[in-house]
Amino acid sequence: MERENVLVSGADLARQRDFEEKIKTMFAARQAHPVACVDTFGCQQNVADGQKLMGMLEACGFTFTEDPKEADLVILNTCAVREHAEQRVFGNLGILTHTKRENPEQVVALCGCMAQEERVAKRVKESYRHVDLVFGPHALWKFPELLWQVYDSRRRVFAVDDEHGTIAEGIPVVREKGVKAWVSIMYGCNNFCSYCIVPYVRGRERSRDPEAVLAEVRELVAAGYKDITLLGQNVNSYGNDLEIGYDFADLLAEIDRIPGEYWIRFMSSHPKDATKKLFDTMARCGHVARQLHLPFQSGNDRVLREMNRRYTRSQYLELVNYAKEKMPGLVLTSDVIIGFPGETEAEAMDTVSLVEEVGFDALFTFIYSPRPGTKAAAMPDPATRAEKQKWFDKLLEVQNRMSAALHAAYIGRTVRVLVDGESDDPDYPLSSRTEGNRLVRLKGDKALIGQFAQVRVTASNTWALYAEAV
């Protein structure tokens, strides 16, 4: 892709601001105060997209609610990675027939990765007639124009053309109150893992200009955000399309020079593009958290080849051992798929043995979910669901035991945390996170919320630490 074809022009972006003003003027003329409900499913990238949608809606004059019954506009911002998330979305779409019956003027929109799939858009068009607007990630930047078309024409609008994708700078954002913020540094994916639909719905990799990323992080630090996560489908390939000899490690090093009290994290990170330079840079940077989420997916080389992951078990182990050597105390997490098509019990146990060898702090574990349109969905899959569940249960047993032991080792230690809010535990009313992103339920004064604090760990379980403010 030619770089100049990736960036949305200033004139096109200004046009969207004009549509925001049109919508705002329309509601003002009606003396109406429009309310929107934005319901986001899936990954942090979707969360960041949802915040942009809310930014554009705010510019259109909307306020927000979490109750669809109260909303003049309901947006389902969807995820296509797993079947369960898709089923939830269709279930929610069905429920919205009732809210629209009570409020016929309500506009219902479906966006995100699911919306970009041709089969989903077709199903919505034919079977969910109450949905007024459907648009994929590529069209997010022109959401005000699409929404205006719905209001102006009073017809259904579908914007799901197959495109490579773009970068649009300067879209307004409504961020969650608190200390955490998300910054997308790139979009799309070139990897085509055989089980994953993301490259088909989010397009090819395209990196934001480093100066745009740096400016956004500076603004966040100045605004008081203290836990900032850099996002991309594969952050390790950041910069490849810029052709300026600038990579993700260079970006981290520059961000680290921004003064302030904050942590920088990133996800997701692909092992095939993780480098020793990246880990060396992380070790040198004072603001970069000693936390690494490095998905390995399978511990068996044959399965990795079928997944099109383009690394081996031994290469993965070499990477994590180097990272641990450079950053003692590194908190290491990963993603794992059990029951990939054709996987045997012995191959699944190779995954379990890798988990035991590495000693992960936590895992995000999944039983394989076929995604229509991917290569894996057409592969023979003789193992039964019951067999896969047995392998999955073994994986959980091993990881939960390790997580509990790692957490127990913290008891009696004093650690630094960022207190990020209130918890639902009356005995430990505060929620906080360590540099390694471990959840710490905390006894202490609410005045600590939004601050870094030293805490003494008094108890633990598999999923959390419990502590008192020092």
* Residue-by-residue DSSP string for 162-206: -----B-------PPSSSEEEEE-EE------TT--HHHHH-S-E
Q: Which residues contact 226 (CB under 8 A, 6 or more apart)?
A: 179, 180, 261, 262, 263, 418, 450, 452
For residue range 438-459, list pLDDT tens digits in order.
999 999 999 999 999 999 999 9
The backbone torsions φ and ψ at residue 348, rounded to the nearest 5 degrees and listed phi first, read -65, -35
Q: What is the mean pLDDT of residues 238-263?
A: 96
How high is the pLDDT of residue 248?
Answer: 98
Q: Do 323-407 and 414-469 come out as alike in CATH topology?
A: no
Distance CA 440, CA 437 (A): 9
For residue range 281-301, list pLDDT tens digits in order.
999 999 999 999 999 999 999
Asked if the model's pLDDT at residue 97 lies above 60, the reply is yes
Domain 323-407 has CATH 3.40.50.300: no
Mean pLDDT rounded to a whole number for the chain = 95
For residue range 330-357, list pLDDT tens digits in order.
999 999 999 999 999 999 999 999 999 9
Of residues 84 and 8, the one with the higher pLDDT is: 8
Secondary structure class of 267 (helix, strand, coil): strand
* Helix, strand, coil distribution of the chain in percent, nearest 5: 45, 20, 35
- CATH number (3.40.50, 1.10.287, 1.10.3470, 2.40.50) of 414-469 reads 2.40.50
Of 183, 186, 340, 344, give the one whose Cα is nearest residue 270. 186
User: Angle, to 10 degrees, between the axis of helix 210-222 and the axis of helix 248-256?
Assistant: 30
**172, 292, 237, 209 alpha-carbon torsion, rounded to 10°:** 30
Q: Which pair of tokens denotes residue 411?
A: 């008891």
Residues 274 and 319: beta-carbon distance below 8 Å = yes
For residue range 109-142, list pLDDT tens digits in order.
999 999 999 999 999 999 999 999 999 999 999 9
- CATH number (2.40.10.480, 3.40.50.12160, 3.90.1640.10, 2.130.10.10) of 3-159 reads 3.40.50.12160
Q: Which residues contact 11 (CB under 8 A, 6 or more apart)?
A: none
For residue range 163-218, list pLDDT tens digits in order.
778 999 999 999 988 899 999 999 999 999 999 999 999 999 999 999 999 999 99
Residue with tokens 């607007």: 133
How high is the pLDDT of residue 1?
Answer: 44
How high is the pLDDT of residue 3?
Answer: 53
- CATH number (3.40.50.620, 3.40.50.2000, 3.30.750.210, 3.40.50.2300) of 175-289 reads 3.30.750.210
The domain segmentation of the chain, as residue ranges, is: 3-159, 175-289, 323-407, 414-469
Estimate to the nearest angstrom the gap between the alpha carbon of 79 and the chain centroid: 10
How high is the pLDDT of residue 17?
Answer: 97
The backbone torsions φ and ψ at residue 415, rounded to the nearest 5 degrees and listed phi first, read -130, 160
Q: What percent of the chain has pLDDT over 90?
A: 94
Secondary structure class of 411 (helix, strand, coil): coil
Of 233, 288, 236, 321, give the one whose Cα is nearest residue 436. 288
Secondary structure class of 209 (helix, strand, coil): coil
Distance CA 73, CA 36 (A): 5
Estimate to the nearest angstrom the gap between the alpha carbon of 8 and the chain centroid: 23
Q: Kindly state the helix (H) or strand (E) to which residue 217 belongs, with its residue range.
A: helix 210-222
Q: What is the mean pLDDT of residues 242-257?
A: 96
